[in-house]
Chain A
Amino acid sequence: MPAIVPTTTAKTDAPAASSGSSQRRSRTAYLLLLPGLGWLGVFFVIPIATLFFTSLQAPVEGRSGVYQAAFQISNYAQALGDYWPQFVRSFIYAGLATVLALVIAYPLAYFIAFKAGRWRALMLVLVVAPFFASFLLRTYAWRTILADEGAITTALNALHLLPEDRILNTSIAVVLGLTYNFLPFMILPLYASLEKIDPRLIEASGDLYARPFTGFRKVVFPLSLPGVVAGTLLTFIPAAGDFINARLLGAPGDSMVGTAIQVNFLQFRDYPIASALSFILMAFILVVVFTYIRRAGTEDLV
């Protein structure tokens, strides 16, 4: 993470308590960790191991949808070979949605943090409010909003702004849907890091000859970077693996990796390919995330 996150080294030099009580205390700490570790073990480690073994399975001759343990690494090559366009689309759509969400969320989060005053709590509730309705339902609502006969499409068509004369069932709709659905994941971390910035730093930058925009660029934005990093990751990662938006708002040609995984699991019952796809997606996302964090962390923030 960026170096501007406050360091917590001070905690390590707490006075050493008598060894007996500190041992007891650390035992309590481990006990308290148990439920969390148990949860992770049962619901994360075991499924992921199962998924990994499934991704290497080979089909049983003559019985469709039945597989046996094997070490068939070719599943991965096949998955990648068959579905690379979906991978490319996933990353492009997720990337566009992340950029759009950042552009929309930053001013909003800034406003809530610095200007909203007594409306702050209400605005935060409004940001979270969409979560009260189901994800699926909200995505369906976008079908109505973007419908061919709807106000938005009609208006844009009148201005001849749409290349395909429609929005629904195009990649534009998928990106818009992704942006909308993951926007709160961008706003909340941005708000959290902007809210921590002392407004007097903005005054101080003005006092030191920085015009408002320079002050933003040199002081506020660098200090909000932890929020930018967290927000973009929280938006990009789920958006890259999403399958609902492409399904409901896009054309078949707009399908993403999530769609491919879903179809392989539920329709083709090709569990090894679906598992291999999941692992490849995970690997790609990890690479993207680590590259991004490294860059954001070492970049000269001045």
Chain B
Amino acid sequence: MSMSSGSSNLGFEVKDLELINLTKRFADFVAVDDLSLTIPAGSFFALLGPSGCGKTTTLRMVAGLEDPTEGQILLGGADLTRLKAYQRPVNTVFQSYALFPHLDVFENVAFGLRRRGIKDVSAAVTAMLELVELGNLSRRKPAQLSGGQQQRVAVARALINHPGVLLLDEPLGALDLKLRRQMQIELKRIQTEVGTSFVHVTHDQEEAMTMADTVAVMNKGRIEQMGAPVEIYDLPRTRFVATFLGQSNEVPGRVTGSSGRDILVDAAGARFAVPAARSAVETGDILVGVRPEKLSISTQGTDIGDGVNAVTGKVIDASFTGVSTQYLVMTSWGGEWMVFEQNHTLGATLRPGDEVIVHWRPEHTFGLAVDSPAVDGLVAESA
């Protein structure tokens, strides 16, 4: 990125955040492992990963709440690494907010300004409370607010200081599903309005994909893959990313040749075409993968046409979810595949026990290295 600093529409200084070889070692493990990363000014950036992957430690190092073992943190080219938290032009929206319970909304929001010796805070606080739509609650104590309102206060309290970058640590973790959706849109709106960079840490892949322009998937202190949500969802480069970011169906096989721009894979007694550009490996063992919504499902014997990849199996579960029907298919080699089918027609046409053929177009296929680990089951992280 050529722009190192500039000015947003609300007078925010927007700056690039650079992490250079950032490492954090605790007594017996490496939380963040030689992380290098540039977050361009004005972007909404999500650090996504399971619990213990180092994402929160990374955020805390940027905030100055944790000292890096090695490496540097630069904001708009200025080195922050050795500065104390209170000296950094960076603010944080803490997990479960950490609002000051003895201060009302107004004083919570004014806290940072007052600490910097700004006398007349009321115009700035009022404007900020307008931005987060809390203008009428300024004299309430945090305990008298709902979760969503507390969230907004936390955002206002941080943003009022015009941070070079706003850090959000699992900001929506304490909210219920409906409110979380609403706040996702709200946070995105605020970010667009103020234009400053948001760095957002979450374990919720949907949250990351909804809000962020760029998602970095972290695992074991390293970034596995980084890019626009559509990009990394469509083309995961590691098995971890494929399984953490959404669901993935895989079949292990071996590369046997190529045809045009595709490589050909023999797996489970069938042949699959994988675009070479979409495969992490070009020879030897490979995992052929595809997303569940890219699949079509038909009873065996149906003509599926030529030039498609297909596996056979038996439906072991069908669940109707309204917009789609989700089938769990036991494949011929014993793997379980998930198929999402849009409910174009009325009712589920397939039942458990039906012999089916599951097929998809080669351009939706991706190839992964076999040795890279998957996410173990569903990763649930408590707040």
Contacts and interface: CB of A to CB of B under 8 A. Distances in A.
Interface string B297-320: 000000000000000000000000
Contact of A206 (B65, B101, B161): B65
B92 interface: yes
B103 A302 contact: yes
A214 interface: yes
Given A203-B65, A203-B85, A209 B100 contact: no
Contacts of B90: 207
Interface in A200-240: 200-201, 203-211, 214, 218-219, 222-223
Contact of B115 (A6, A203, A208, A302): A208
B141 to A, nearest CB: 9
A243 B39 CA distance: 70
Contacts of A201: 98, 100-101
Given A201-B100, A209-B116, A222-B102, A302 B107 contact: yes
B86 A204 contact: no
B161 A204 contact: no
B111 A205 contact: yes
Nearest to A209: B115
Nearest to A202: B98
Interface residues of B, number: 27
Point out which of A4, A200, A214, A219 has the most chain B C-beta atoms below 10 A from its C-beta: A200
Nearest to A197: B101
Contacts of A206: 64-65, 84-86
B165 to A, nearest CB: 12
Contacts of B92: 204, 207
A25 B335 CA distance: 59
A200 B115 contact: no
Contacts of B158: 207-208
A61 interface: no
B103 A200 contact: no
A13 interface: no
A198 interface: yes
A301 B102 CA distance: 8
Given A4-B101, A210-B86, A223-B102, A204 B115 contact: no
A218 B102 CA distance: 10
Contact of B98 (A204, A210, A301): A204
B59 to A, nearest CB: 11
Contact of B100 (A6, A211, A214, A219): A219
- Give the interface residue-count category, chain A: 20 to 34
Contacts of A4: 101-102
A207 B115 contact: no
A87 to B, nearest CB: 36
B84 A204 contact: no
B179 to A, nearest CB: 20
Given A206-B86, A207-B91, A211-B86, A200 B112 contact: no
A209 B86 contact: yes
B98 A203 contact: yes
A207 B157 CA distance: 11
A222 B101 CA distance: 10
A111 B44 CA distance: 40
A207 B102 contact: no
B138 to A, nearest CB: 14
Contacts of B115: 208-210, 214, 218
Most chain B beta carbons < 10 A, residue from A200, A204, A205, A222: A204
Given A302-B103, A302-B107, A209 B112 contact: yes
A183 B162 CA distance: 46
Nearest to A214: B115
Interface of A: 4, 6-7, 198, 200-201, 203-211, 214, 218-219, 222-223, 301-302
Give 6 closest A-B pairs by Cβ, nearest first. A208-B112, A209-B115, A206-B85, A204-B98, A200-B98, A4-B102
Interface of B: 63-65, 84-86, 90-92, 94-96, 98-103, 107, 111-112, 115-116, 143, 157-158, 161
13 contacts: A6-B143, A200-B96, A203-B85, A206-B84, A207-B90, A207-B94, A208-B86, A208-B91, A208-B158, A209-B112, A210-B111, A211-B86, A302-B103
